[in-house]
Amino acid sequence: AEHVKDDLSSILFTKEQIAEKVSELAQRIDHDYQGRDVLLVGVLKGAVPIMADLMRQLDGQYPMDWMAVSSYGSGTKSSGVVRILKDLDTDLHGKDVLIVEDVIDSGLTLSWLRTNLESRGTSSVEICALLRKPEAMKTSIDVRYVGWDIPNEFVVGYGLDFAEQYRNLDCIATLAPHVYE
Ligand code: PRP
Ligand code: MN
Ligand code: MG
């Protein structure tokens, strides 16, 4: 494999900054969910690193489950119509669900997902996203736990991909122009 760090133009967040932010989020979540019956729901595949790190910073009991979703239509992922490729294994009745995401872009995936999960008899559905792009959002969505708001730029690493590449970077970075050209 090529050295992926040669393809980066600037690093937005280092692995140390990410670890500190994830730890802060975990403390808030532990505080807010004391005594509750919580299920962490990760959205494949981008949420894998944040889920793996966040869950190990949590002190309470937090089972996890996963969904894989895909937008309907040809290529454009902003239709807001979502297809479930892999559903949860867990019955959500009475559960306090915390959706774990790497990034909120248009917000359409999460907006649809929250409504879908709420229809299954949950007690509550909240969202934890490491990154959010306010300028890209096409729907207003209430996100209780946000790591950072970032400009509407293409970023990779820590789960975020460009054509399925760069997910394994330990930092979050912008891509160098030569990668696109
Ligand atoms: C990305 C990202 C979020 C979603 C955000 O996932 O991980 O899940 O897009 O976009 P939205 O706010 O515009 O709906 P993607 O569909 O690329 O799948 P991946 O996680 O497998 O990369
Ligand atoms: Mn994703
Ligand atoms: Mg992706």
Tell me which residues have their CB closer than 6 angstroms to ligand 1: 43-46, 77, 101-109, 161
User: What CATH number is associated with residue 98?
Assistant: 3.40.50.2020
Residue 33 pLDDT > 90, yes or no? Answer: yes
Cis preceding linkage at 45, omega within 30 = yes
Residue 166 maps to a domain: no
Residue 7 maps to a domain: no
Residue 32 maps to a domain: yes
Residue 24 pLDDT > 80, yes or no? Answer: yes
DSSP string, 135-176: GG-SS----SEEEEE--S--EEBTTB-BTTBSTT-SSEEEEP
pLDDT above 90 as % of the chain: 86
Residue 97 pLDDT > 80, yes or no? Answer: yes
Residue 21 maps to a domain: yes
Sheet strands side by side (includes 172-175): 8-13, 172-175, 155-156
Q: Whose CA is nearest to atom 16 of ligand 1?
A: 70
Question: DSSP secondary-structure letter at 37?
Answer: -
When pLDDT is averaged across residues 121-146 and rounded to a whole number, the result is 97
Q: Mean pLDDT in the chain?
A: 94
Residue 163 maps to a domain: no
Residue 180 maps to a domain: no
Which residue numbers are catalytic? 105
Q: How far is the CA of 70 from the centre of ligand 2 (A)?
A: 9
2 — pLDDT class (breaks 50, 70, 90): confident
Residue 181 maps to a domain: no
Question: Could you tell me the CA-to-CA distances from 158 to 31, 57, 63, 65, 97 in Å, in that order?
Answer: 25, 17, 22, 19, 23
The confidence score (pLDDT) of residue 78 equals 62
Any idea which residue has 């937090």 for tokens?
A: 62
Chain center to CA of 111: 13
Picking from 21-25, 79-83, 113-117, 147-151, which range would have the lowest pLDDT averaged per residue? 79-83
Q: Which atom of ligand 1 is nearest to the CA of 102?
A: 7
The confidence score (pLDDT) of residue 181 equals 79
Axis crossing angle, helix 48-57 with helix 15-32, rounded to the nearest 10: 60
ipTM of the complex: 0.98
What domain count does the chain have? Answer: 1
The confidence score (pLDDT) of residue 73 equals 59
Residue 8 maps to a domain: no
pLDDT above 70 as % of the chain: 95
The confidence score (pLDDT) of residue 77 equals 55
The confidence score (pLDDT) of residue 26 equals 98
| pTM: predicted TM-score of the whole model, two decimal places | 0.95
Instruction: Name the residue range of residue 111's domain.
Output: 16-157
With contact defined as beta carbons under 8 Å apart, do 97 and 125 qualify? yes
Model confidence over 36-90: pLDDT tens digits?
999 999 999 999 999 999 999 999 999 999 999 997 755 555 667 899 999 999 9
43 Cβ contact list (under 8 Å, min separation 6): 66, 67, 68, 69, 99, 100, 101, 109, 113
